[in-house]
Amino acid sequence: PTPGNHDANNQDGLTPYYNFFTLPHNEVYYKVRWRPVTLYSVNTTFTNLTEQVNWLQNEVRLSATPFNIVFLHHPPFSAGPHGNNSFSQIPFNDMNIDVVFSGHDHIYQRLVKDGEEDVCYIVNGLGGKNVNGCNLDKLGPGVTNLCCYGEDYGAVKVIATYSELKLAFYRV
């Protein structure tokens, strides 16, 4: 898991989240290796991500897996009601990240940043309380929308082998 605004915005902050989950590293941000994939959790409830970006750059450099996936709550780019989040626009392309998963906006969206097509950005908040629509005007220049869906709930299935990474969206 990775914490989001619903975890942090209460009188106890992230304490209940940390008490519920037992996570590796320092629990604020961490990595998990799962066969051909290394998953990196970045905690965007903090808007100053400098320490985490430095950690991520170092960890990805040391990665021996063919695929590196980052997951965080606040999407770098989104056509949902919250739109883009500049503080989570980390130089993922420079780190050889393959996929960046995020939530926050209750839509499913797949997009790429122009000039950095090796990184696939996925927003999937369709497991939340409600469903939002897509407003492509929120993206602004420099981001290409490949798909945006906000009509019903859904999930993303990931299948990874040592030679291939497949992502598929399913309405539920």
Burial of 172 from C-beta contacts in 10 A (0-12 / 13-18 / 19+): exposed
Write the pLDDT tens digit of every residue in 137-158.
Answer: 999 899 999 999 999 999 999 9
Residue 128 has pLDDT above 90, yes or no: no
Task: Please give the Cα distance from 98 to 151 (Å, whole number).
Answer: 27
Q: Is 55 helix (H, G, I), strand (E, B) or coil?
A: helix
Write the pLDDT tens digit of every residue in 7-60.
Answer: 999 999 999 999 999 999 989 999 999 999 999 999 999 989 999 999 999 999
Output the pLDDT for position 3.
Answer: 95
pTM to 2 decimal places: 0.96
Can you name the residues that pair with 157 across neighbouring β-strands? 168
The structure tokens listed for 141 are: 């220049």
Residue 132 has pLDDT above 90, yes or no: yes
What is the band of 65 on the pLDDT scale with cuts at 50, 70, 90?
very high
The structure tokens listed for 22 are: 């037992």
Output the pLDDT for position 90.
Answer: 97
